[in-house]
Copies of this chain bind each other. A is one copy, B any other.
């Protein structure tokens, strides 16, 4: 046991520590734990959960529009939507004004699961970020939303 100095201490990141993209990716990984605890037992994952939320909030939304809102490519939406339908969380009906398109709706069960999960995830996030004030969480959210608005950069 001769490695006392570097035993538990994390090594230096170097200039990596100044890169916002690195920290965003890392933090995203950290926050996947409270998410997982929040949706435990539902079979939901991060992206399907996000899709369900958008569908519940925008009844009748087209598959492509839901994907655009979340930055998900059309090709990847297909399996994700099928999965939500098979789980009984989403309903798909032919769009009335465009026979190419589908209109999506959250089922009663989907809406209920979504509500429960959203509350639970929020609790878990608040627990992980217990040292953050509400104002700090608000500041963070605002900054992140501004980055998303820069999507085309």
- A residues apposed to B, CB below 8 Å: 2, 6, 10-35, 46, 49-50, 53-54, 56-58, 61, 65-66, 68-71, 97, 118, 121-122, 125, 127-132, 136-137, 139-141, 143-148, 150-151, 153
Evaluate contact between A50 and B69: CB separation under 8 angstroms: no
Evaluate contact between B144 and A14: CB separation under 8 angstroms: no
Evaluate contact between B11 and A57: CB separation under 8 angstroms: yes
**Chain B residues positioned under 8 Å from A50 (CB to CB):** 13, 16, 22
CB-CB nearest in chain B for A150:
B128
Partner of A24, one of B11, B27, B53: B27
Given A131-B146, A140-B143, A146-B131: A21 and B14 interface contact (C-beta under 8 Å): no
Copies in the complex: 2
Interface centre among A130, A132, A140 (most CB of B within 10 A): A140
**Chain B residues positioned under 8 Å from A54 (CB to CB):** 11-14, 16
Evaluate contact between B32 and A148: CB separation under 8 angstroms: no
CB-CB nearest in chain B for A6:
B65
Known pairs A20-B140, A31-B147, A130-B153; list 12 more (Cβ under 8 Å).
A10-B69, A14-B57, A15-B53, A18-B122, A19-B121, A20-B144, A21-B34, A27-B144, A29-B71, A30-B151, A128-B150, A129-B150
